Structure 1
Amino acid sequence: MAGSEGSARVLVASNRGPVSYTVGEDGGLTGRRGGGGMVSGLSAIGPDAGAVWVCAAMSEGDREAVRRGVAEPGTRMIAVEPDVFHAAYNDIANSVLWFVHHLLYQTPLDPVFDEEFRSQWASYEAYNAAFADAIAEEAAEGAAVLVQDYHLVLVPALLRQRRPDLRIGHFSHTPWAPPDYFRLLPDDVAAQVLEGVLGADRAAFLTRRWAAAFAACCADVLGAEVSADGMSVSYAGHTTRLGVHGLGADADFLRERAGRADVEERMAALRAEAGPGRRLIVRVDRTELSKNIVRGLLAYRRLLLEHPGWRERVVHVAFAYPSRQDLALYREYTAEVSRVAAEINEEFGTPGWTPVVLKVDDDFARSLAAYRMADVALVNPIRDGMNLVAKEVPVVSDHGVALVLSREAGAFEELGDDAVVVNPYDVRATAAALNTALTLPEAERADRTKRLAAAATALPPTQWFLGQLDALS
C-alpha cells in the first residue's frame, strides 16, 4: 500500500480502548478514561513517540462519539455495524474462543458449529479486517504494532498482507488451549486462528505454559516447525518468535489508592458486617465462568462441615461482580452464585453470624478494603491467563495474607512456591487448603506475604508494556 502510510510510529490495537463514552440526558457526550498497563505504558513512551491506540466503538455512546468526530488525541475508534460487532464480540470472541482457551465447554451438548456459527465467524473476520485496515492507514513506515488478545487473532496476518513493512506483535491475555482441546474448533477455523497469530513477528503470552501450548497447536494443526527451545515457530516461509511477559501488579498505584479515606470507610463497614475478631476469607472476582466461584463456596461449606470449630469464627467475604450479563449462561451462573451463598447462610447462619457476605455491586474501594483485611485470599479459577487479584492482595495486605491458589492460574508459575496450591475441581481438597491457610503461623504468613508481594510486582504494567515494545526492535 505504497503512499498510504500514516504518521504513527507505535500502535496498540485492542477491542476495548482507553476511553469509553456515554450520552447524557442532554445529549452531551462524557468520556471516561480507563487505566491499566497499556494506558500507563503508552504514557511512559512520551507524547513525542507518535503513538495511536486503535480500538472498537463498543457502546452506543462510543458509536455516537465516532459519528460526531469526537476522539481523544492518539485514539482511532472503529465503528462497525452493531450486529457485526455483537457477532464478533459476543458470539465468537466471548462464546467460542474464550470457551476454548478456558476449557469451558460441556462437550456432550456444546459446541455446535453449524451455519449460524459460520455467519458469526464471517462477522469476526470482517471485524478483524476493519482493524487491519485502520492500522494500515495510521501506521508510519516500519512502525511497531502491538495487537492485543483473542478478539483480534486474525489481525497480524491481515496486517502483514497490507503492510509488510510493519513490525507486528500479538499478545494473548488468556491461556492457550492444548492441541486436543483447541481442535474442537473446525479444522479450517483452527488453522485460520493460528495462521493469524503467526502473521506477527512476535507472539507473546503471560506464561511459558501458554506459549508452549500455542507452539504445540501450531505443530499439531499446521505442521509448523517449532525450534528446539520452543520459543519460535516457522511456517509458510515466516518465523514468529515467542515471548513471555508475566504482567505484574502496579504496587505504587495500589498502595496509594488503598490508603485513601474511602477505603478506610469501607474497611470499617466490612468489619461491622463481618463481626469483631472474625477471620476473613476473601475473594474478588467477576462472575466469569472460569473463576470457579461456585466451587469456592462449596469448599467453604465443606470447611464449616468438617471443621465446625470455625463456625462463628470465620466469614467468607465474596465479591462477585456481574460479567457479560447479555449472555444467558452468565446470567444463570450469577444466579447460581447467589443461590449457593444463600443456602450456606441458611444452613449455618446464626443471629450474630452471617457465614457468607456476598456483594454483587462493583466497588473498587471496597475491593481494596477487603484486600487489606484478608486473612486468606481464595483464588481458585478453573483456568486463568494470569489472575491479578492473586498478585494484588499480598501487595496491600495490612497484616499478612495466606493465598489459596489454583494451579491452573497463570499466577501459579510465579506465586506457587508461597501459596497453598489447589486443584480447582477438588472441593474437598480446597476446603482442606482453606483450613491450612487459616491455621498458618503468623510469622510464616508474614514471610510468605513478603515473598508473594515481591514476585507479584516483578514486572509492573509499564515495564510489561515497554518490554513487548522493546522486543519488537
Structure 2
Amino acid sequence: MASTHVASAHGAAQVLVASNRGPVSYEVQEDGSLRTKRGGGGLVSGLSAIGPDAGALWVCSTLSDGDREAVRRGEGESGVRMLDIPADVHADAYNGIANSVLWFVHHMLYQTPLEPVFDAEFQRRWASYETYNRAFAEALAEEAAAGAAVLVQDYHLCLVPGMLREQRPDLRIGHFSHTPWAPVDYFRMLPDDIRSQLMSGMLGADRLGFLTRRWADAFTACCAEQGGLGGTEIGVHGLGADADFLRKRSHERDVEERMTALREEIGGPDRKTIVRVDRTELSKNIVRGLLAYRQLLDDRPEWRERVVHVAFAYPSRQDLAVYRDYTAEVQRLAEEINSSYGTPGWTPVVLHVKDDFARSLAAYRLADVALVNPIRDGMNLVAKEVPVVSDEGCALVLSREAGAYEELGEDAIVVNPYDVLDTARALHEALTLPPHERAERTKRLAAAATALPPGQWFMEQLRALRA
C-alpha cells in the first residue's frame, strides 16, 4: 500500500494521531492540479494545540480519487501520512464492518428479528477490517520515534492498539471512542471470536478514553468476560464546544445572510422557532422528532401559525440503502405535516437537506428551542454549540440517551427519545419558558458546554497517556 509520506524523518514522530478521516482531502481540478481542502472538528483543533514543533504526524486513509492521486504523485501536507488502502478493502472495512456492524452494535440499532446475520459475507468483510487496521498499525510502527505517544481514534480502528503493541512495545498507545459503547448483553450479539478480537485490540492500549462515564462503564463490563482490564487505564473526557471559533464564525457575513433568508422562510417576527441540526443518521431520531412536533400542533392548536420547526437533516452514508430510506422518510413526513397543517402564510416545517454550516450557525442564533433527541449518541455537539451562539437564549430539549445529558441535563428539558407524547409536552414547556429563565439556563448550558474545549480535550489525553 502506497502512502503520501511527508513526515519530518523516518521514525521521528513524537506524537501520532490515527483516524479514518484526516485533516485534509484532495480534489483533482480540470487542469489536473490538486485542490487541497482542510477539515475541521475537535481533533484538528486539538492537534494544533500542541504547536508546530512537537514532531506530530497524522496517519489517515485515502477516501477519494483525489486523495489516491495525491498519494500516487507523492504530494501532500507536511505532518500527514495518507494510506492508500485499496478502495474495495476500505469499502468493506468502513461500510461493511465499521458503519454497518460496529456502529449498529454500539448504538443498539438492529431490528433483531431480522438482523444481524453473521455469515460468510460478514467474515469476508471482517478480513478487510483486519487488513485496514493492520495497514494503520504498520504505518504507525514505522513512523513513531522511540517512546512516542500514539492516539488512535474511534471504532474504525479498534484492532490497531493490539496490533501496534506487538510491533512496538515501547510506545505509549491511547485509543479514544467517539461513540457510545454497547451494554454487555448487546455486545454479546457479536460472534465470540470477533468479540474477543475487538477487546484484545482495544486492551493493547495503555489508556482508553470515552466521552462519558456511562460508556466507559459499559466497556469495563464487557471486559469482565475477557478477564478484566489488565494494565489498561480508563479515562473520561467530555469533548466540549470550541466557543471562540463558534462565536467568531457565527457573526461572519455569510451567516448574517443566511439569517435574513431563514427569517423570510419562517415568516413573521413573532413566530417561535424549534431548531434541529443533524446528519440523517439513524440514531439521531429525526422521524420521532417530527412526529412530536406534529403531536404538539394537534395537542396545542394555539401554536399553529405561531411556531416553525426548522429542521436541517444533512445526508449521511447515502451509499447504504437503509440510510437512503431513512432520509426519504424524513422528507416524506415533513411534506405530510406541511400539507396537513400549512396555510398560505405559514409553512410548519422548514426542511433543508443540503449541508451548509453557515446556515446551521444562523439557525443556532435564531433558535428559541433546540431539539436534540437521539436514541443514542456518544456526545452530540449540537446540544453544546447552540447555547454558545444563541442570540436571545435558547431552551434545550435533550434526550437522556445523548452523552451530553451527563453534563447538560440539569438545565435542559429532558425527554425519553422513544416517547413522542413526552417530547411534544417538552416542546410546549420549552416554548413557554419565561425569557429570564431561558437566558439563565442558556448561560449555564454554555458554561458546561465549553468546560473542555477541543485543544484542552486533546492535551488532557496526551498528558495522561504520557504520565
- TM > 0.5: yes
Given residue 265 of structure 1, which amino acid in structure 2 is its aligned partner?
E
Query: 2:180 maps to which residue?
Result: 175
Match of residue 89 from structure 1: 94
1:35: Cα distance to partner? 1.6
Q: How does 1:211-222 map to 2 (within 5 A)?
A: 211-219=216-224, 221-222=225-226
Match of 1:149 in 2: 154
Q: Separation in 2 of the partners of 1:415 and 1:35?
A: 24
The answer to whether residue 243 in structure 2 is matched with residue 251 in structure 1 is yes
Deviation of 1:145 (Å): 0.2
1:103 counterpart (92, 103, 108): 108
SS at match of 2:232: strand
1:217 CA drift (Å): 0.5
Deviation by residue 1:94-145 (Cα, 9 ceiling, x = unmatched): 0000000000000011100000000000000000000000000000000000
Mapping of residues 118-267 of structure 1, within 5 Å: 118-219=123-224, 221-224=225-228, 233-234=229-230, 239-267=231-259
How far apart, CA to CA, are the structure 1 residues paired with 2:379 and 2:24? 24
CA–CA distance in structure 2, aligned partners of residues 395 and 89 of structure 1: 33
Q: Which among 446, 449, 452 is matched to residue 445 of structure 2? A: 452
Q: Does the 8 A contact of 1:13 with 1:53 survive in 2?
A: yes
Residue pairs, 1:20-419, within 5 angstroms: 20-219=25-224, 221-224=225-228, 233-234=229-230, 239-276=231-268, 277-419=270-412
1:147/1:171 contact within 8 Å kept: yes
**Counterpart position of 2:3:** none
Letter in 1 for 2:247: R
The answer to whether the 8 A contact 1:5-1:136 is kept is no
Extract unaligned runs of 5+ from structure 1. Answer: 225-232
Corresponding residue SS for 1:440 = coil
Structure 1 residue runs of 4+, over 2 Å off?
Answer: none
1:465 aligns with 2:458: yes
Alignment partner of 2:435 out of 408, 429, 442: 442
What do residues 44-77 of structure 1 show as CA deviations (whole Å, max 9, x unaligned)? 2111111000000011111111111112000010
> Which whole-Å CA distance do the structure 2 matches of 1:286 and 1:186 have between them?
30
The amino acid of 1:365's aligned partner reads A
How far off its partner does 1:265 sit?
1.0
- Give per-residue Cα distances to partners, 1:288-314, cap 9 Å, x unaligned: 000000000000000000000000000
The letter of the residue matching 2:154 is D
2:190 maps to amino acid = L
Letter in 2 for 1:171: F
| Structure 1 equivalent of residue 421 of structure 2 | 428
> Secondary structure of the residue that 2:53 maps to in structure 1?
helix
Q: Which amino acid aligns with 1:289?
A: L
**Alpha-carbon distance in structure 2 between the residues aligned to 1:328 and 1:185:** 22
Percentage identity across paired residues of the two chains: 75
Following superposition, the deviation at residue 41 of structure 1 comes to 2.0
Letter in 1 for 2:240: G
Mapped contact 1:9–1:51 kept (Cα < 8 A): yes
Tell me the alpha carbon deviations over residues 398-441 of structure 1, each in whole angstroms, 9 at most, x when there is no partner.
00100000000000000000000000000110000000100111
Could you tell me the TM-score, scaled by structure 1's length? Answer: 0.96
Q: Give RMSD over aligned pairs.
A: 0.9
Aligned partners of 2:45 and 2:437: how far apart in 1? 35
Per the alignment, residue 227 of structure 1 pairs with none
Partner in structure 2 of residue 10 of structure 1: 15
CA shift at 1:43, angstroms? 1.7
Cα distance in 1 for residues equivalent to 2:166 and 2:313: 43
Distance 1:126 1:6 in 2: 22
Deviation at 1:5, TM superposition (A): 6.8
CA contact (8 A) 1:156 1:200 kept: yes
Structure 1: which amino acid aligns with 2:261?
A
